[in-house]
Amino acid sequence: MEPADTEYKVVETSVVTDEELERILNQTVQQGWLFDGIQFAMGGASKRPAMAFVVFSRTRAN
């Protein structure tokens, strides 16, 4: 797959719970996107992430 044939989707959430991440993953995969990864952003002194960015990709329709 050539990079030009790939498109990406990033879903940002400030609700970083297992339920919310599962909802985002299930909903977006059902739309035909493939899960690529999750990036967490930490905030303040808390040990829990303040935000998460869930990354998806798929082959661009021509």
The contacts of residue 22 (CB under 8 Å, 6+ apart) are none
Percentage, residues of the chain above pLDDT 90: 79
Q: Which two tokens stand for residue 61?
A: 């329709």
- 3-state secondary structure at position 45: coil
Q: Would you say the pTM of this structure is higher than 0.95?
A: no
List, in sequence order, every residue forming a beta bridge with 12; answer none if it has no partner: 53
Distance in angstroms (rounded) separating the CA atoms of residues 50 and 26: 21
Taking only the tens place, the pLDDT of each residue in 27-43 is 999 999 999 999 999 98
